[in-house]
Structure 1
Amino acid sequence: MIPLSVLDLSFVSADSTPAQALHDTLALARHVDGLGYRRYWLAEHHALPNVASPAPEIMIGQIAAATRTIRVGSGGIMLPNHAPLMVAERFRVLEALFPGRIDLGLGRAPGTDGLTARALRRREAPGEGGNDDFLDRLQELLFWDGGFPEGHPFGKIQASPAGVPLPPIFLLGSSDYSAQLAGEIGCGFGFAQHFSGMPAEAPMLAYRRLFRPTRLGERPHAILAVAAICAATDAEAERLAASARLSTLRRERGEYRPLPSLDEALAYPYSDSERAQIERGRDKLHVGGPETLRATLTDLVTRTQADELMIVSAIPDQAARHESYTQLAQAWGLGAVSEAA
C-alpha cells in the first residue's frame, strides 16, 4: 500500500473558535505522527470564516517542533500572494531547523476572494486585467534556489540562511494545468480531488506521462488529495459525514460558514433539489467503515496511479476526527508502510 498523509485546513466548527481550530490542528498532527502518516500539509486561505489557515509557514514550524518524524509542508503556499524571495527565505529557515522534514507545496490560486487577493497583493489579482504572473514568480523562486542567470539584477543578492537548500517542491492544482507544468519542470505534483471539477485520472496520468527528470526530481511523485471519513461501521461513517455534506452544500451556494455541528447537520431540512445535489457530489467525499473505505481508495489509487494519498477530513468532533484517521491507518496497514519507508 502507498503512504497516507494529511491535509489540514484548520476547520472552524460552529461550536468552537478559529483559535481553537489552530490548537486542534496541532493535536491532530501529534496524533497522526504516532500512526505512521507520511506528511502533514497546511493550506493557505484568507478571510474565510470556516477555516483558520492564513499562514501555513507559521504552522509548519509549530507542527514540526511538536512532532517527531512526520514531514510537514504547505498545501499550499499561494505563490501569487507572496514575493518569491520571502518564500525562499522562510522555507530555508524551516529546512535549516527541521532538515529533511519540510515540503514546499505551491498553488496558483489566491486562496480567497478577489477583493482580499487585491488587499494581499496591493495590486490587481490574477484574472483582472490579465495579470497572472504565477509563472514569473515560480521561475524567480527556482532561481533563488539554483542561481540567477548571468546579468540578472537579483544575482548579487544572497537568500538567507546561506547554504540551506529549498525543501522538495510540489505544484498543486485541481485541473491539468499544474499537472503538465509539474511534469515539465520535474517536481512533485498534488491534485485536489476533494474540490476539483474534473476527474482525477486525466491530470494524474498526464503528469506521469510528461515528467522529465531535472534537478528538482529524478522521478515523478504524484499525491492525490481526497476528502474521506472513516468510522467503525459504514453507518457511523455516513452519520459523521453529515456535517461535511451540509458544509459543502453551503459552500457551493457561496456560504462560507463554520462547519456545522453533527446535530445541526442531521436535523437540517433538505429539499429534494439539495438532496440531489448531495448525491451528485458523493464522488468527492469518500465515506465508509475501514474495509469499505480501503476498497474505495485502493480502486482510486489504481485508476490514478497515485504515489501517495493525502486525506482531509471535515469532522467537527475532534475525538471522532482522530478516530477517523486511526481507523483508516489501521485498515491501510500504515504501520507496515511506515516501517518499510
Structure 2
Amino acid sequence: MKISVKVRRQASRTSVPTYQTYEVQADPHSNTVLDILHKIQWEQDGSLVFRRNCRNVICGSCGMRINGRSGLACQKLVSEFFGEEFLEQTSGGTHPARNREPEFVPELVVEPMQNLPVIKDLVVDMTKFWQNLSKVDPFVSTASRQISKTEFLQTPAERDKLQAAANCILCGSCYSECNAAAVNDRFVGPHALAKAYRVMADNRDDRTTERIAQYNQSNFVWDCTRCYNCNEVCPVEVQPLDRISQIKQAILADANLPESTPQLHRHTMVELVKQDGWIDESKFGIKVVGNNFKDLKGIASLIPVGFRMILKGKMPYPWQFKPSEGIKEIKSLMTAVLDRRSK
C-alpha cells in the first residue's frame, strides 16, 4: 500500500531545516521505519542521510523522532503509527473492508533527535551526549579490574540490582525527549544517570560513597523534572527515571552528606504530609527556602512572593490550614512505606 513519509531535511548545521515528502509502497505490518528510509534512499533520493548499523535493536545508531516521539527506526513497525481503522483495513482476511487501499494516505513524520545539534538531515552531533556520560565516570573503579588469578564472582541477586541499567544501548532516545536537558544544557541527562546507577549498584565498585556525593550536586539527579518521558521512549526498558529515583534514595539514606536544598525539600515534604496528611504551604516555604529561619537570604527571597500572593488572595495563612480527615490512615501508610525502605 502507499504511505506518505515527511522527512525533515537540513543540509548543514547552520542551514534552515525544511520538510520533504515522499510516497512509498510499504507493508505496514512487516516494514519498519528503517525499511521505509532505505526504500527512499535506494529508490528515490540517495541524498537522504541517516545513521543505522545492526538493524536489530542492539547498536542504538538509528535513533530519531517518528511522529513526535523518539525511538529506534529499526524497532518501530510502520503499523504502530496508524490508527485502528487503518489497521483493520490492511490486516488481510476475507472481510470486504480488508485487503484494499485505505481511503486516505497515512503519513509518517521523521525528524532528527532533539537536544542535540543536527549535522545533516537525521544525523545529530552526539558530542555533548558522550561528554555528559563521561561526567558520571561510568566505569567500575576497583582493584578487581587489575589482572588477577581468580575471578570476581557476583551472585544472581547482586547482578539483578544493576541488570536493567546495564541494558542501556546509549541510543539517545531518552536524552532527545528529556525536558530537563531542553532547558538546562548542563544537566547530564537520563542516559548518564542510568549508567551512573549501573556502576553505583555494582558491588565490585569501590567509589560508591564518592559517587553518591557527586550525584547530590547540581546538574545531576535533582535536576530531573520527573516527566517520565525517558521511561516512555526507552527501547530496551532501562527505565532511566527509576534508576534516577534509586540514586536519590541512596543520597537520602546517607546520613553523612550535608543536607542540600533538594534533600531538605524531600525531607520536609515527607515530614509535613506525615504530620497533617498534606502539605501546609505556610510552613513549607519557611522550612525549605528559609531553612527554618537559618537562611536569611532565603527568607528575604520569600517576601516578594508572599506580597504578590497577598495581593492575589492566595496567601496560605496558617490559621486557615486544616489537617486531612484521613490523617490516621496516611500516617499508617507512610510509616509502613518508610519502614519497608529502611530494611
TM-score (norm 2): 0.19
Considering fraction of residues, name the structure with more strand.
1
TM-score (norm 1): 0.19
